[in-house]
Amino acid sequence: MRQLTLACLLACLALVTHATEKFPGIKEIMSAADFEAAGLGKLSAEELAALDRWLIRYTANDAETIRREVEEVKVESDKDIRSRIEGAFSGWDGKTVFRLQNGQVWQQRLQGRWRTKLVDPEVIISRNIFGFYELEIVEKGRSIGVKRLR
């Protein structure tokens, strides 16, 4: 029994460690203005790391319940969204807005730059393990974190 408990604890630690490596951190997820407005700029690097670890645990445990039950964050569907970006598309640069042919408007929520030249590229928007949205350019297999504006 003791070995089983130890194995379970090690597996949980491995999952949190893996999630921490994939999680970009609260500073990358929030806009600079929201980050400062929340007073998070006053935290030390260690305090931000602790907040990131807490956010991973919280999201892993409660994100599905929140997504289903909290009116402010409910979405029309849990299915992936497939559409196309309207017109010429040259990639993303930090705050890129993606206007889709289905009428939805999304904005890049994570830092990053990528250049390309495409016209009406097909996209898939899906939720990642943390419940955040990612937009994938199907033709190129490239993706970036996004948030819905409309």
Distance from C-alpha of 92 to C-alpha of 94, rounded to nearest angstrom: 6
Domain membership of residue 85 as a residue range: 81-148
What's the domain count of the chain?
2
pLDDT of res. 62 = 67
Q: Which of 47, 73, 99 is the last residue of a domain?
A: 73
Q: What is the mean pLDDT of the segment spanning 92-114? A: 93
8 A C-beta contact, residue 116 and residue 90: yes
pLDDT at 81: 92
Helix (H) or strand (E) holding 24: none
Q: What pLDDT does residue 14 have? A: 43
Write down the pLDDT at residue 137.
Answer: 96
98/50 same-domain check:
no
Judged against a pLDDT cut of 80, whether residue 2 lies above it is answered with: no
Q: Per residue in 25-34, pLDDT tens?
A: 888 887 888 8
Dist CA 118 CA 130 (whole Å): 29
At 73 the pLDDT is 55
Over residues 16-45, the mean pLDDT reads 77
CA 42 vs CA 26, 48, 51, 110, 150: distances in Å: 14, 9, 13, 21, 32
Element (H, E) at 30: none
* Domain closes at, from 73, 91, 126: 73
The confidence score (pLDDT) of residue 33 equals 84
Q: Is residue 132 within 8 Å of 109, Cβ to Cβ?
A: yes
Q: Which residue among 37, 55, 73 closes a domain?
A: 73
Handedness of CA 116, 120, 121, 127 (dihedral sign): positive
Same domain for 8 and 66? Answer: yes
Same domain assignment for residues 96 and 63: no
CA distances, 121 to each of 49, 109, 145 (Å): 37, 20, 17
Mean pLDDT of 58-73: 64
| Percent of the chain whose pLDDT exceeds 70 | 73
d(CA 145, CA 24) in angstroms, rounded, equals 10
The Cα 92–Cα 110 span in angstroms is 10
On whether both 58 and 109 belong to a single domain, the answer is no
Q: Point out the least confidently predicted range of 13-22, 57-66, 82-91, 92-101.
A: 13-22
Residues 65 and 92 in one domain: no
